Chain A
């Protein structure tokens, strides 16, 4: 197939017309056939270049701040678990581990300044993650967007880059909902799953779910919703309370 690929690309050629057109165009634009008064224009050009440079320097200083300001995040929850902060250009500006193995993964995964979907692909391809997935463990990826639109866009991109990966699930949530995650010692992804669970069981607390993986929390939510749905079908109007059985202390 490599031979076939070479043979195929060998057939892609720039035709004579394109080559001649390019030669003419480049000759015209670079021949110095400018109107008279070129010297004066050069002086003006120099001043404008200096002004542009100064403007760029000032912009650059401000731009530096903008570049390193996070506006969204991606939480990859498994065991290990990592969280990446993303800037408005879609680049990873930081990566942190949420547990011991996650910290080690964050230390070794060279994903800073990558596009976030590329970073996710990279992390999934690391040995430690591949081994976990091969063992049947499941990864929950949460896109935390500035707002609903950003969130949907990020989730779509993450789903596309993880298509074909078994045991990898992508979700999205808005930043405003999960802002308190770190205060409670949770990743954004786990906190988002906890909030889903809280809708079903208002008595549940963050402490109750800390020992669970994000995937386990989401599966509990899903199975509880299915139970409720089945109860509703077979037992209308029972008004049963339901809820999760909390771990006994």
Chain B
């Protein structure tokens, strides 16, 4: 079990990352809070020896992803509730950023995940495949299709590269 200082450090350093992963899966605050606590409790209780910070971060993203999927799958009602509740978009977010975020959140779940992991976190398809337990060919397809879908929604501004 990890000591309190190590756990607090991880919460400070990776809280934003966990929050972002929660947001793309759950879209409401109550569920996000539950997942937050689940993820960092798992971290506190785990015996995994991390090779480096990148390994730690990838582990936390994977655990968060799996916890969100379990929550969404286990209660159909919570999924329905998530769809009905207002998305947790920061109130002070500028309009153009809000538009981008809404476009991402309106994509099917499998596309939201790869958009976040590839275009924001900078993971490659093989790395995303390991995190999400998906075949790397599937990830390549999802990356391409998510780019097309976002282009459609956001009026063809396109991605660099």
CB of A9 within 8 A of CB of B116, answer: yes
Please measure, in the bound complex, the distance between the C-alpha atom of A29 and the C-alpha atom of B90, giving whole angstroms.
30
With known contacts A7-B97, A22-B11, A26-B40, A121–B135 Cβ distance under 8 A:
no
Q: Report, as a range, how many residues of chain B touch the other chain.
A: 35 or more
CB of A21 within 8 A of CB of B33, answer: yes
With known contacts A2-B119, A25-B41, A18–B19 Cβ distance under 8 A:
yes
B70: min CB distance to chain A, Å: 14
B23 adjacent to chain A (CB < 8 Å): yes
CB of A1 within 8 A of CB of B157, answer: yes
CB-CB under 8 A from A114, the residues of chain B are 135, 138
A184 adjacent to chain B (CB < 8 Å): no
CB of A12 within 8 A of CB of B23, answer: yes
A interface secondary structure, majority: helix
A27 adjacent to chain B (CB < 8 Å): yes
CB-CB under 8 A from A11, the residues of chain B are 90, 93, 97
Instruction: With CB as the reference atom, state the residue of chain B lying closest to A160.
Output: B108
Instruction: With CB as the reference atom, state the residue of chain B lying closest to A124.
Output: B141
CB-CB under 8 A from B85, the residues of chain A are none
Kindly supply a per-residue 1/0 record for chain B positions 13-26, scoring 1 wherever the CB is within 8 Å of any chain A CB and 0 otherwise: 00110111001000
Instruction: With CB as the reference atom, state the residue of chain A lying closest to B136.
Output: A110
CB-CB under 8 A from A7, the residues of chain B are 97
B interface secondary structure, majority: helix
CB-CB under 8 A from B160, the residues of chain A are 1-3
Q: Which of these, B23, B41, B120, B135, contacts A29 with CB under 8 Å?
A: B41
CB-CB under 8 A from A40, the residues of chain B are none
Q: How many residues of A contact B (CB 8 A)?
A: 30
With known contacts A3-B160, A9-B120, A12-B20, A18–B137 Cβ distance under 8 A:
no
CB of A14 within 8 A of CB of B18, answer: yes
CB of A122 within 8 A of CB of B97, answer: no
A125 adjacent to chain B (CB < 8 Å): yes
Known pairs A14-B19, A21-B37, A118-B138 / 17 extra A-B pairs, C-beta < 8 Å: A2-B119, A4-B157, A5-B120, A7-B97, A8-B101, A14-B36, A18-B15, A18-B19, A18-B32, A19-B11, A22-B11, A22-B15, A23-B11, A26-B41, A29-B44, A30-B1, A30-B45
- Interface residues, chain B, with chain A CB atoms under 8 Å away: 1, 4, 7-8, 11-12, 15-16, 18-20, 23, 32-33, 36-37, 40-41, 44-45, 90, 93, 96-97, 100-101, 104, 110, 115-116, 119-120, 135, 137-138, 141, 144-145, 150, 154, 157-161
